[in-house]
Structure formats: C-alpha cells, structure tokens
Amino acid sequence: MAEQWWEQRDAREEARAWDELVATARRTVSDGLVVGTSGNVSVRVGDTILVTPSGVPYDRLTPDDMTGVDLDGRQVRGTLVPTSELPMHLAVYRTTDARAVVHTHAVHATAVSTLVPELPVIHYMAAALGGPVRVAPYATYGTDELAENMLRALADRSGCLLQNHGTITYGTTLTQAYDRTAQLEWMCHLWLTASSVPGLSPSLLSEEQLKEVGERLRGYGQRG
C-alpha cells in the first residue's frame, strides 16, 4: 500500500509540473520570446526531466502528451520525441542545482549575441544572473558541442546568450527560470536601444557597482 501511495503521489506531482511546463512554454510564445516551437522548456521532478516535445505547437499539448527522460537522456515518460535541444537541458541539470530550464530565440537577445562576446553591463539586474552575461560561441543546435559551449558561458551564472541562436536560463522553479529569461531579453533590448542613439554611448556599470547590487539582492523580497 505504501509503495502504491508513493507512486500515486509522484504521478500527481509530475502531472502538476507538466501543466506548469506547458503554461510556461505557451507564455514564451504569447510574450514574443519564441516563434512557433523554436524554444523549449524543461522541469525536473525527482530524477525525471519533463521536457517539451520536438516540433509540437505548445497550444496543442495535453496532459496525455507528457514527455520525460532520465538524466542519461533515456525516455521514461510518453512517446513523443523530446526536444532536439535535450543535450543542453541535461547538461544544465547534471552540473547545477537547476530544477527548471527555459530556452528561447528572443529577438533582442539573439541580436546581441551576434554583436558582442558579453552583454555590456547596462543595468544592475545583470547581478540577478550572477554577473555580466556571456555569449556561448556558436555551434549547431542539438549538439554536444553547443552544450559544452553553453556550460562554459554559464560558469557562475544562471543564464547566458547563445551566439546566433538565443538564450538559456535556469532556476529553482519554472517561474524563476522564465523571469530570468524575460529579464535577459529586456536588458538586451535596453542596450540595443541605448546604443542606437547617434553620437552617444550608454554608460555602463562597474564591477564594483554590480558586486554591491549582488549583495543587496541576496536580501531582496519578503521574508517569511
């Protein structure tokens, strides 16, 4: 009986996580961070990684479409083929404390990834991602090379840009991972806007200023 209860509890937890994953994936489209199925989302439940399937429009996903793999990439839930970007997602889960990952093709962030090796520190919220946001060198999508490039760019960070590709962020929840993606796209938009004024260059924050913000952010929000 106890074993059956645990299995039912795990199934309920996965069902809730899948519903949240689908809602987050749909939000990336409605908020303009991806077009069609160009991004992907995942969430970890125990040792199972629930992930958006490859090439399926998010508005068509149902509870019966749950797709999941283990940390070695073996499919353990569903029959739909997981996202082609699975190597990136698994690399994040294997090397960090991530519980959720969001990958997008956000237009401003992707534009910045083609221009600089690191997003200039235009706003103090870079500290929320661990510091200046790096750009991972280009590699073909879905490859181990891209995953390796991403991990180097993510060192001590919770998000990075992927050259000529997009963004990836992670967090302890889907909400946090998504918020970091949205914040990164906003900072990229801000820098592109400020940089476009003829004859002027945007002021940037110093390393010391960013460090001070990072310390203040540790105590940010409600305590309870």
Active-site residue list: 85
Tokens read off for 199: 């004859």
Give me the phi and psi of 100, to 5 degrees please. -155, 145
Tokens read off for 85: 């970007």
CB-count exposure of residue 206 (10 Å: 0-12, 13-18, 19+): exposed
Secondary structure element (H or E) that encloses residue 136, with its range: strand 135-136
HSE toward the beta carbon, residue 183, CA cutoff 13 A: 21
Round to whole Å and give the CA distance between 19 and 61.
9
190 close to 127: Cβ distance less than 8 angstroms: no
Start-to-end C-alpha separation, the chain? 36
Secondary structure element (H or E) that encloses residue 135, with its range: strand 135-136
Residue 48: count other Cβ atoms within 10 Å of its Cβ: 19
Round to whole Å and give the CA distance between 22 and 42.
9
45 close to 76: Cβ distance less than 8 angstroms: no
